[in-house]
Amino acid sequence: MARALISVPAKAGRGEIIAIKALISHHMETGFRHSTTGQLIARDIITSFVCRYNGEEIFRADLFPATAANPFISFYTRATESGTIVFEWTGDNGFAATEQAAISVE
Amino acid sequence: MSEDFSSVTRRRLLKAAAALTVGTGARQIIRPAGATPATMQTAIRTVVGESRINNGKVTLDIPPLVENGNTVACSVAVDSPMTPADYVKAIHIFNEKNPQPNVIGVYLGPRAGRAKFSTRIRLADTQKVMAIAELSDGSFWSDSVDVVITLGACLEDS
Amino acid sequence: MKAPRPLRAKTIVMVTLAVVASPIAAGEIPADQRRSSYDVMSHETQAMQDDDASNPGMLWVLDGEALWHLKTGTADKACTDCHGEASASMKGIATRYPAFDAERGRALDLTQRINLCRNEHQNATSLPYESKELLALTAYVARLSRGLPIADPAADERLGASIEAGRQTFNRRQGQLNLTCAQCHDDNWNKQLAGNPVTQGQVTGYPLYRLEWQGIGSLQRRMRNCMIGMRAEPFEYGAPELVDLELFMKWRSRGLRIETPAVRP
């Protein structure tokens, strides 16, 4: 599976707004480049990123070739309860990756 | 028009050499006549429909001068209380001159707490980038930035 | 015609003193002005490097950590089996590479050392230069020296010939553009070339994440890029000339602190 790096605070106060960062390794081949022999290199990108907090979607992104390689996204959410935050990336050629992080909320 | 063999070959070689010089500068990327300001407008209308796009509430943060168009730090913040009654539903980023006008589309809800996200994008050339936010009341708000892209001097060719 | 005035004795003495007392050759950057190219990067690039949670180079470092613990080769051994936890055993290593290898009688860089370990102790094949795995292991090991000053390779006399060979390459005109490395990196640093700052070429951050590559790469790759940029035939990966040049670059950067994995345009 592709290497991913997730940053979620381990602990948060109830209702506190927390910052979440997600970085994943992927070359994000645009589909607009040509090889040295002139052939078009096929697109191969991550197309979707979804984050769920105890099963409920809290953030979603549609990615395009204009997203830089090794996509990085940071966003915010309210820490509502303890549990698991799950990150899912899907893309071309059946690409799929999942990571999760636990969070403890007082 | 008749041409002797040597002049045809020489013209081809000169053309090839010129292409090579241009190609070397642009590496392998041959940029198709893709996005234009008009294409960006069409892509925006696909998302926004006929609604009016207001200026304000949105801050698109991109450095005006960028060291490398491959990876440009970019963040968008929208002034919103993010309550169930009043929140940002989506933020879309568009560009003028990449092969495609869409950059990213982000979907939020009141749980987000803050309507702000950061990412890294690719910009093929010096151009205008625009962020459009859709609010829960169906209104659209936008901000845009003109970005200048520079390219490193010593590029590898392979 | 008037006879030319002879140089005053005082002037001659002052000039001689200046030449003799200076520990560095003409054209080299004065010791107190040497700095990492981090200083001339944009705020955004610096921010990308500073935050381990968003530095793309860290993806390779994490892969390297996994590889460090992975049993491999017909000997079925992991790096840990000899070296234990890298956080203890590998700290400081990157400040001292390239290092002299007594058995081979010459300087070897970190990637070559890693491959030798694989060959001799893990009975595993060498990882290709610039392969994901080799970069990951090198980045992982080098990062463990982050913040530590690069050691002066000249302290090991056996490296003298290599350093000198690297210096010769650095100061030699190359390629169709007929440039020396020194002309940009010693003489014109902090000026701009085609919109990007010309850096001093300090090598504190390797392997580093280059935005241009959209991936991590070694110092050898970067130097080959420079040679291609000068329209010179680049040395092959692992060539002694390239290792000698790497060693000279490390000497140039002696005392500056490691910042692997750096982020650069």
Beta-sheet pairing, C263-264 with C208-210: parallel
Which two tokens mark C100? 């002299």
Q: Is residue B155 part of a domain?
A: no
3-state DSSP call for residue C164?
A: helix
Over residues C154-174, the pLDDT tens digits come to 999 999 999 999 999 999 999
Taking the CA of residue A85 and the nearest CA in chain B, the distance in Å comes to 14
- Residues 209-238 of chain C with CB under 8 A from chain A are 214-215
**Do B85 and B117 belong to one domain?**
yes
Residue to mutate among B154, B155, B157, with most C CBs inside 10 A, is B154
Mind giving me the DSSP string for A51-88?
Answer: EEETTEEEEEEEE-TTBPSS-EEEEEEE--SSEEEEEE
**Do B45 and B15 belong to one domain?**
no
Phi-psi category of residue C224: left, alpha or beta, with phi > 0 → left and psi -120 to 50 → alpha: alpha
Q: Which of B30, B112, B158 sits opposite A76 (nearest CB)?
A: B112
Exposure string for B16-44, b = 16+ CB within 10 A, e = fewer:
eeeeeeebeeeeeeeeeeebeeebbeebb
All residues of chain B having their beta carbon less than 8 Å from the beta carbon of residue C213 are 156
- Please indicate whether residue C140 or residue B10 has the higher confidence score (pLDDT): C140
**Do B12 and B51 belong to one domain?**
no
d(CA C141, CA C146): 10
What angle, rounded to 10 degrees, do the helices at C219-229 and C240-252 form?
100
**Do B18 and B53 belong to one domain?**
no
- Residues 48-77 of chain A with CB under 8 A from chain C are 68-70, 72, 74
Q: Is residue B156 part of a domain?
A: no
Q: Among B108-117, B149-158, C208-217, C247-256, which stretch is predicted with the lowest mean pLDDT?
A: B149-158
Residue B63 at interface with chain C, using a CB cutoff of 8 Å = yes
> Is the pLDDT assigned to residue B98 strictly greater than 80?
yes
User: Any idea what DSSP says for residue C117?
Assistant: H
The CATH number of the domain holding residue B85 is: 2.60.40.2470
Going along chain C from its start, the domains and CATH numbers come out as: 35-264 (1.10.760.10)
> Is the pLDDT assigned to residue B152 strictly greater than 90?
no
- Please indicate whether residue B58 or residue B27 has the higher confidence score (pLDDT): B58
Could you state, in order of their start, the residue ranges of all structural domains in chain A?
4-31+40-105
Q: Quick one: pLDDT at residue C208?
A: 97
Q: Quick one: pLDDT at residue C192?
A: 86
Give every CB contact of residue B99 below 8 A, 6+ residues apart in sequence: A30, A32, A65, B31, B32, B34, B35, B124
**Do B69 and B142 belong to one domain?**
yes
Q: Quick one: pLDDT at residue C26?
A: 54
Q: Report residue C28's pLDDT band, with 50, 70 and 90 as the boundaries.
A: confident
d(CA C159, CA C171): 18
Sign of the four-CA dihedral A11, A15, A19, A24 = positive
Q: How many structural domains comprise chain B? A: 2
Q: Is residue B141 part of a domain?
A: yes
Exposure string for C146-170, b = 16+ CB within 10 A, e = fewer:
beeebbbbeeeeebeebbebbbebb
Alpha carbon dihedral A59, A63, A66, A72, in 10-degree steps, equals 50
- C124-130 average pLDDT score: 97
ipTM over 0.90: yes
Domain span including residue B11: 1-30
Q: Which of C232, C248, C256 is nearest to C36 (CA)?
A: C256
Count B/C contacts: CB-CB distance under 8 Å: 58
Global pTM value? 0.86
Q: Report residue B29's pLDDT band, with 50, 70 and 90 as the boundaries.
A: very low
Phi-psi category of residue C263: left, alpha or beta, with phi > 0 → left and psi -120 to 50 → alpha: beta
Q: Quick check: C194 and B63 CB within 8 A?
A: no
Q: Is residue B79 part of a domain?
A: yes
Is the omega angle on the peptide bond into residue C207 within 30 degrees of 0, that is, cis?
yes
Q: Quick check: A70 and C53 CB within 8 A?
A: no
**Do B13 and B51 belong to one domain?**
no
Please report, for chain B, how many H helices and E strands are present, in that order: 2, 9
Q: Is residue B154 part of a domain?
A: no
> Is the pLDDT assigned to residue C16 strictly greater than 70?
no
**Do B4 and B59 belong to one domain?**
no
Q: Quick one: pLDDT at residue B22?
A: 39
Q: Quick one: pLDDT at residue B157?
A: 55
Contact yes or no for C219/C238 (Cβ under 8 A)? no
**Do B3 and B40 belong to one domain?**
no
d(CA B119, CA A75): 9
Which two tokens mark B90? 């989506």
Residue carrying structure tokens 């002696």: C254
Q: Quick check: B112 and A59 CB within 8 A?
A: yes
Q: What Cα–Cα distance (Å) separates residue B11 from each residue in A63, B3, C166?
A: 44, 11, 43
- A59-63 average pLDDT score: 98
Number of neighbouring beta carbons within 10 Å of residue C9:
8
- C13-41 average pLDDT score: 67
- Residues 128-157 of chain B with CB under 8 A from chain C are 150-157
**Do B24 and B89 belong to one domain?**
no
- B69-80 average pLDDT score: 95
Query: Selecting from 2.60.40.10, 3.40.190.10, 3.40.350.10, 3.20.20.150, what CATH number does the domain A4-31+40-105 have?
Result: 2.60.40.10
Q: Report residue A98's pLDDT band, with 50, 70 and 90 as the boundaries.
A: very high
- C134-141 average pLDDT score: 98
Q: Quick check: B111 and A61 CB within 8 A?
A: no
Mind giving me the DSSP string for B123-143?
Answer: --SSEEEEEEEEETTS-EEEE
- Residues of C forming the active site: 226
Q: Alpha helix locations (H) across B26-118? A: 37-48
Q: Which of A7, A21, A70 sits opposite C56 (nearest CB)?
A: A70
- Please indicate whether residue C43 or residue B19 has the higher confidence score (pLDDT): C43
Q: Quick check: C196 and B71 CB within 8 A?
A: no
Amino acid identity of residue C167, one-letter, is R
